[in-house]
Structure formats: C-alpha cells, structure tokens
Amino acid sequence: MNYLITIIGPTAIGKTSLSIALSQHFGCDIISCDSRQFFKEMRIGTAVPSEEELASATHHFIQNKSILENYTVGDFEKEVIVKLDELFLKNNIQIMVGGSGLYVDAILKGFDEFPDINNSIREKINADFEELGIDYLQNKLKDLDANYYQQLRLENPQTLQNPQRMKRFVEVCIGTGKPYSSFLNQKKSQRNFTPIIIGLEADRVIMYDRINQRVDIMINEGLVNEAKSLFPNKELNALQTVGYKELFDYFEGKITLEFAKEEIKKNTRRFSKRQLTWFKRTEDVKWFDFKADKNDIVNYIKSQILIPKS
C-alpha cells in the first residue's frame, strides 16, 4: 500500500522544515504544493526553500515553470499523479507539502469534471470582461450561483479578484445552465495511495509574529528588486500575489515603501487566516502545534501505516 504524507497549514508555520525532517526519516521525496513556488521568477516573495534545504531532500515542482506559461491546477494534478506513480515504485511513502488548499485537494480528491463549454460563450464573456471589468464577472456569478459567490466572499475573497478563475465560473454557469458549484465534489477520483494528513497550527499571535518576521526577512533578501524585475509583467495572473501587488503600487507612486511593507504583512496575515479556514474543513487531519516534537509526528505517521504481514 502507498502512503502520501501531506503537510498542511498556514504560511510561515514551519511546513518546509517538517517536510525535510520527515523526508530524511522515511527516505523519500517531497512534492511541493505551493501554487506560486512553481514560478522560477518568484523566488524571494514565495519563500522558496533555501539552497541548503533543497539540497537536504529531493524536491519536485519548485521553480519549474515560468510566469509566462499558462499553468493551471488541472495541469498540476496530472503532472503530480504521474510523478507519484514513478516515486511509489521506489518507496511506498512519499511527502506532499504546501499551503495552497485547492491544489492539495486536487491531488487528494481529484479535479472536478465539467462539461465542454462552447467557444462562443467563452469569447462573449472575454469581450464583456474587457469592456466592463471584474465587477461584471462578480455580479454575474452572484446572479448565477449565489451560494458559491458567498462562499468565495467569506473564505477566499482573493479569488473574486482573479479574472481567469471568475471567467471560468461564469462560463460554466452560462454554458451548462447550472450553478458552477453543482459540479464540485461530484466524483471521487481513484488514487493509488492513502493520505496521512498532518496539520500545523499555532496561537494566532505567534502565527502573526512569524509572518511579520518572514516579511522583514524577504525585504532584506531583496524582495523589492525581485518585484521591480517583474513589474513589466504585473498584469499576469501569477503576479496577483501578496508581496508583489503591494510593491507594484509603490512603483506606481500610489503608496510609500514603508506603507507597502506594512500592507504586505497585513495581507499575508489575512491570507493565512483564509488558509486555516480552508484547511480546517479538510477531513481526517491530525493537528499538531508547530513546536511539536518531530518524534511524536513520526510515531503518529507510523501508527497509520499498515505493516504488511511477512
């Protein structure tokens, strides 16, 4: 039997260090499940593991794409499942780690299947968006799938500002005559592994302090220059990301650098709260304090693994 140890939790909680410790203990690889660490141009602002950390365990899906590529969660799911099939031939225990809930769910549960949508509908929505902007997409989704709109507003408001995702929701509603949410969680994909899900958490004050410290470290490591190099591509979906958007506003003279830094901290704290809300809905998670003894986590994992009879 194959097992996928999956480490989840909010940003800056210590998932990377735990994944490396477990990788070394079980002698296995690490699948990164962070939807921004894919992009090689976004090293500092996405807290990519250090060269030392990357060298201490074999990682996959880190800095393997360009922001200029159109890379979706569906693409990620297909590539990871192929990679896991390959890795399980060497070791029946593998690790996945990351804070992107949608991407974690895609691997553990499979990606929801939708009917094909007529190209004319897609073109009409694109044209309407170009003329009317994101408000058009938000209002359309509110009309066509009010429940899903409210769920996004409460749990993942950043998605409501994502034109790519919003156009997809609306085109499915219009093209099928059914709410987008009616297609979610309808079919469970077959997986050749059993997930063992480990959640890391901390008191909110501690978590927020760790976030503030991480942002300061990013700034000291050169986040401003990294963002400046990406500024010409600021409209790309990959760059609609906390840590970059605020600095783009600074480059445009809308805010000061000091205000941008504080906004990054504030928006990262808000993001971590949304991450935790998402992950707390995940079933069968064993939650540990971020300072928990690694041996306790290893022992829990071992208790979940069925030892084949000789």
Alpha helix positions (H), the chain: 15-26, 51-55, 73-88, 101-109, 119-132, 134-144, 146-155, 163-176, 204-221, 223-230, 245-251, 257-280, 294-304
Residue 140 marked in a binding site: no
Handedness of CA 7, 166, 115, 78 (dihedral sign): negative
Residue 142 marked in a binding site: no
Residue reference for tokens 């304090």: 289
Residue 110 marked in a binding site: no
Residue 11 marked in a binding site: yes
- Contact status, residue 295 vs residue 192, Cβ threshold 8 Å: no
- Contact status, residue 163 vs residue 240, Cβ threshold 8 Å: no
The tokens of 245 are what?
A: 């958007």
How would DSSP label each residue in 142-202? HHH-HHHHHHHHHH-GGGGG-HHHHHHHHHHHHHHSS-GGGGTT-SPPP-SSEEEEEEEE-
Residue 12 marked in a binding site: yes
Number of Cβ within a 10 Å radius of residue 307: 7
Residue 268 marked in a binding site: no
Write the CB contacts of 281 (distance below 8 Å, at least 6 apart in sequence). none
Which run of H or of E encompasses 41? none
The tokens of 296 are what?
A: 């306790």
Give the residue ranges of the annotated binding site for substrate. 11-16
* Residue list, annotated binding site for ATP: 9-16
List residues forming the annotated binding site: 9-16
